[in-house]
Amino acid sequence: MPVVTPEIYMKMLTAARYGRYAFPAINVTSTETANAALKGFADAGSDGIIQVSTGGGEFASGLHNKDMALGAITIAEHVHRVADRYNIYVALHTDHCVPRKVDSFVRPLIAATAERRASGQGNLFQSHMFDGSELPLDENMKIAHALMKECVANEIILEVETGVVGGEEDGVDHSDTPAEKLYTTPEDMVGVYETLHPLGGTFMLAATFGNVHGIYKPGNVKLRPKILKEGQAAVTGKHGSEAAMHLVFHGGSGSELADIHETLDYGVIKMNVDTDTQYYFTQPVKEHMIENQGELTHNGDQMANKKKFDPRAYLKKAEENMASRVTTACKDLKSDGKTLFK
């Protein structure tokens, strides 16, 4: 049963929190990229998280449908079926659902889980992210409060975000965000805890500390991981050591390893990886096209080579290369060799 139950998911997060490691959360858009994530986790002996964004779900549903919830469901159902063949645990998560898409993405997926639970099946997704960072904190938490109630009723973990992750990813563009909004304040973290903790259940917080989506040259992103330490201290100072929160590192692609490792000391148990895995998936496809250019096009009397233009010829290479990047992420986050699956 490698797609986790709520109980096993909690054990994963708790083990990471106290073991000072984190799980790579890999964004996927297709069965090929989902398979690459699973292979990468298995090769590393690491449990992990596969996640689908609104744009990823829309793409997976096909150009005719463009239905973000439908696409997310199809990817999740694929993972539920194939993950049984792997010797690691995996959780399914949704990424960056902004307020205007909650009713067309997160809530239909919560309903799908509720329907499965009513028939004796496990949760479709184990956690969901609501990204209300574009709103003032009180409005952000008002929506999060309502979603948390729905999640608790179905043993789903809710991830929320305060502060803004800069850059652009999957249609969510914060490229012009003022610098001060890239850093979550201790007061924000206390506010999140005091809003969501009384509802029971478990939540994760994507607190921002200068992180940026996208790809940048080394040294261009100025992270301040101690923001997380200060926020945790504010929460635990007011509510006790048990109030320390599960934190999420967004915009992880291209980050310095020293910064990544420092965040693990402050409660990061999940780091999103998307830009780097997209790049690793695409590079073998590019190389295949260049190397076989003369055999990929019908030219006069000479026909193209079917073995070269068969999508499997290059998608296998793409899966293998992306899987290698997922394995590297596990090693960077120190989750390799730590699967709870026996």
Q: Would you say domain 6-282+319-332 falls under CATH 3.20.20.70?
A: yes
- pLDDT one-digit tens code per residue, 172-218: 444 454 555 678 999 999 999 999 999 999 999 999 988 765 554 54
At residue 220, the pLDDT reads 52
pLDDT in 10s for each residue of the chain, 342 residues: 799 999 999 999 999 999 999 999 999 999 999 999 999 999 999 999 999 999 999 999 999 999 999 999 999 999 999 999 999 999 999 999 999 999 999 999 999 999 999 999 999 999 999 999 989 999 999 999 999 999 999 999 999 999 765 444 455 444 454 555 678 999 999 999 999 999 999 999 999 988 765 554 544 557 889 999 999 999 999 999 999 999 999 876 667 899 999 999 999 999 999 999 999 999 999 999 999 999 999 988 899 999 999 999 999 999 999 999 999 999 999 999 999 998
Q: Mind telling me the catalytic residues?
A: 95
CA distance 125 to 182: 29
At residue 164, the pLDDT reads 60
- The answer to whether 208 and 188 have CB atoms below 8 angstroms apart is no
At residue 231, the pLDDT reads 97
| C-alpha closest to that of 207 among 172, 159, 173 | 159
